[in-house]
A and B are shown apart, each in its own frame.
Chain A
Amino acid sequence: AQSVTQPDIHITVSEGASLELRCNYSYGATPYLFWYVQSPGQGLQLLLKYFSGDTLVQGIKGFEAEFKRSQSSFNLRKPSVHWSDAAEYFCAVEPYNNNDMRFGAGTRLTVKP
């Protein structure tokens, strides 16, 4: 079955530490891949996306993600986390531009001072 999996429900990191959020997908072919961030009480905002080409993509707010076809993964990374990064992060996939974007369950990030 087609699915998007975010294995970590909740992650806590110290401010200044590095961050990696995991995302795996199960689709017949590589879909379009996205990471969104949701701050408390807000809607979702696009961080970055991958369609094709260079497997390391840069996004806003200092985030990057790496697509690994062999692992069906699209993990989100940031070298140094800031307190303002505390939020919920969603991985999403859209097969072939078909208006049916599917979201993972989300990973909630807590940042310790």
Chain B
Amino acid sequence: NAGVTQTPKFQVLKTGQSMTLQCAQDMNHNSMYWYRQDPGMGLRLIYYSASEGTTDKGEVPNGYNVSRLNKREFSLRLESAAPSQTSVYFCASSEEEIYTGELFFGEGSRLTVL
């Protein structure tokens, strides 16, 4: 089972460049999330989508945009990358029709902005 798949796994950008991180889940989950992980700070929520067609800001949304393309896919876009956005990005999904609280994570995308 694939679970949550993120692409790319690694990316190096120059300041000001744009890029999109892709995420897809095959568990038929309603909710999807984007987190960033920085040393000493744990994971912080960037955006989430409770269902297809809806998105909401999390704790650290500035500098990012998201698109919930369909139930399976949730992308994160950096329009003009900055060095402060160097981080490891995780996509996650959860089943909310019957609340379990469990998030299922992808393996992460390591982004470096020079």
Contact = CB atoms under 8 A, between A and B. Distances in A.
B101 A97 contact: yes
A49 B102 contact: yes
Interface residues of A, number: 24
Interface stretch (A13-21, A37-45, A65-73, A78-86): A37-45
Contacts of B45: 100-102
A45 B105 contact: yes
Interface stretch (B14-22, B35-43, B65-73, B79-87): B35-43
Contacts of B56: 99
A107 to B, nearest CB: 10
Given A101-B45, A103-B43, A105-B40, A46 B102 contact: yes
Interface of A: 4, 9, 32, 34, 36, 41-46, 49, 51, 90, 94, 97, 99-106
Interface of B: 4, 31, 33, 35, 40-45, 48, 50, 56, 58-59, 90, 92, 96, 99, 101-103, 105-108
